[in-house]
Amino acid sequence: ACRKKAKDEL
């Protein structure tokens, strides 16, 4: 879940 938030990491 919540996978999309990782896209804000580098």
Partner 1 sequence: MNVFRLTGDIAHLLAIILLLMKIWKTRSCAGVSGKSQMMFALVFTTRYLDLITNFISLYNTTMKMIFIASSYGTLYLMFLKFRATYDSNHDTFRMEFLVVPVAGLSFLVNHDFSPLEILWTFSIYLESVAILPQLFMISKTGEAETITSHYLFALGSYRALYILNWVYRFYFEGFFDLIAVVAGCVQTVLYCDFFYLYITKVWKGKKLTLPA
- Residues that bind partner 1 in the complex, under the rule CB under 8 A: 1-3, 5-10
For the bound state, the minimum distance from the C-beta of residue 1 to partner 1, rounded and expressed in Å, comes to: 8
Measured CA to CA, the distance from residue 4 to residue 10 in angstroms comes to 13
Instruction: Please compute Rg for the chain using Cα positions.
Output: 6
Distance of alpha carbon 9 from alpha carbon 2, whole angstroms: 13
